[in-house]
Amino acid sequence: MSIVTVRWGILGTGGIADTFAGDLPLVEGAELAAVGSRRLETARAFAERHGATRAHGSWADLAADPDVDVIYVATPHAAHYAAAMTCLAGGKAVLCEKPITLDHASAARLVEEARTRNLFLMEAMWMRCNPAIRAVAQAIAHGAIGEVTTITADFGLQGPFPPAHRLRDPALGGGALLDLGVYPINLVHLILGAPAAVRSWAHLTPEGADETTGVLLGYESGAVAALTCGINGATGNTASITGTTGRIDLPAGFYVPRSYAITRAGREPEIVEFPFPGRGYQYEAAEVQRCLGAGLPESPLMPHQTTLEILTLMDEIRAQIGVVYAA
Active site residues: 98
Is residue 283 within a helix (H) or strand (E), and if so which, with residue range?
helix 282-294
Are the C-beta atoms of 182 and 255 separated by less than 8 Å? Answer: no
Please report how the helices 104-117 and 80-89 are oriented relative to each other, as an axis angle in degrees rounded to 10.
10
The helix or strand, by DSSP H or E, that contains position 10, with its residue range, turns out to be strand 6-11
Contact 237, 127 (CB under 8 A): no
Residues 6+ away with beta carbon under 8 Å from 22: 50, 278, 279, 281
CA-to-CA separations, 99 to 3, 71, 80, 125, 236, in angstroms, rounded: 31, 16, 8, 8, 22
Cα–Cα separations (whole angstroms), residue 265 to 12, 74, 125, 268: 48, 44, 32, 8
Angle subtended by helix axes 15-23 and 282-294, to nearest 10: 70
Q: Which of 30, 60, 33 is nearest to 47 (CA)?
A: 33
Instruction: Please state whether beta strands 246-250 and 197-204 pair in parallel, antiparallel, or not at all (unpaired).
Output: unpaired
Other CB atoms within a 10 A radius of the CB of residue 289 amount to: 22
* Beta bridge mates, 176: none
